[in-house]
Amino acid sequence: MHMKIFTWHIHGSYLYYLSQGDYTIYIPVKNDRTEGYYGRGETFPFGSNVIEIAAEEVKNHQFDCILFQTNQNYLKDQFEILSEAQRELPKIYLEHDPPRQHPTDTKHVVDDTDVTLVHVTHFNRLMWNNNGVPTHVIEHGVTMPKVTYSGHLSKGIVVINNLPTRGRLLGFDIFQEVKQHVPLDLVGMGTGAWGLGEVLHPQLPEFQSRYRFFFNPIRYTSLGLAVCEALMMGMPVVGLATTELSAVIDNGYSGYIHTDTNFLTEKMKMLIQEPQLAKEIGSRGRDMAMERFNISRFTKDWEKLFAEVITGKQHDLRINNTIYEVSK
């Protein structure tokens, strides 16, 4: 059975990696390109299995599963562009983020046990109040970059869009503090006077491979795909020991993590002074990433979950080497 999945274009890089699986993804497009309705765009090299449909034509197509990715998709968009029959199809809600209102007590928008809730990290699943909805974790998967880490530039790189306007949550103050002591370049959309501007996703691996290390100043987030991509190319990662990153990096072995920014600053200085150490740290991080975040594992997890949800089989699902009992 070749599965037909309908979703919205929310996170371009995630959609690109999701599209590496054996199914067809349909995305709506509007002329005004509002959120979720961008279509394929021109940033990512999507294959022929990502198909645009004019938003007003969505009701006339057949799908096997609806994949929500935002509250807007779930609470508003589906009622505007899906037919009544399409809204009865098997449904998955993909949650990209940890709760914002309160880290432990926030109830997820999904409270319908007919909807399957997927989290991208175990941290997210742990922190959300999931309302008794069947939940799963499918960790990130990224493709192997075509370039290898050289690290010949004696400075670090931070890759975050719109960091100056996103403030403390994304660690703009931490970036500013560390930059006073360690040479750092910031890239991303909306980086203003603090950064170098946007580097398109297809060009990012080659651009960042020259830097000695990757610094992630984000306090509270999911696990950024940019971190996984840096690890996969053998680039040493330095970041805050918060959220899922604390369960990814083996401190001092495959990277450096801590809640003390002074500790992290000293480790960054050390990596600049010792390029061979940086390569060793990066190599061990790459070995971990190749096992944990490889694209084949990721797409197989999604193929299996789509098939289970579509066929309606209710039994133990083994995803990411963890069994979650699915019950209604």
Q: What global pTM score does this model have?
A: 0.92
Q: Is 38 helix (H, G, I), strand (E, B) or coil?
A: strand
Mark whether 310 and 273 lie in a shared domain.
Answer: no
- What is the rounded average pLDDT for all residues in the chain? 94
Count of domains for the chain = 2
Kindly state the average pLDDT of the residues 105-119: 97
Strands in 65-68's sheet, in edge-to-edge order, are 50-54, 24-29, 4-7, 65-68, 91-95, 115-119, 135-137
Residue 30 within a domain: yes
Q: Which of 110, 109, 111, 118 lies closest to 136, judged by CA? A: 118
Mark whether 33 and 114 lie in a shared domain.
Answer: yes
Mark whether 174 and 77 lie in a shared domain.
Answer: no
CATH number of residue 175's parent domain: 3.40.50.2000
Residue 146 within a domain: no
**Residue 271 host element (H or E):** helix 261-273
Mark whether 311 and 204 lie in a shared domain.
Answer: no
pLDDT-derived band at 156, boundaries 50, 70, 90: very high
pLDDT of residue 326: 38
Could you list the residue range(s) of the whole structural domain that residue 72 is in? 4-141+295-324
> What tens digit of pLDDT does each residue of 177-220 get?
999 999 999 999 999 899 999 998 889 999 999 999 999 999 99
Mark whether 25 and 128 lie in a shared domain.
Answer: yes
d(C-alpha 58, C-alpha 90), whole Å: 16
Mark whether 178 and 265 lie in a shared domain.
Answer: yes
Residue 148 within a domain: no
Phi, psi of 65 (to 5 degrees): -155, 145
> What tens digit of pLDDT does each residue of 21-75 get?
999 999 999 999 899 999 999 899 999 999 999 999 999 999 999 999 999 999 9
Kindly state the average pLDDT of the residues 306-318: 70
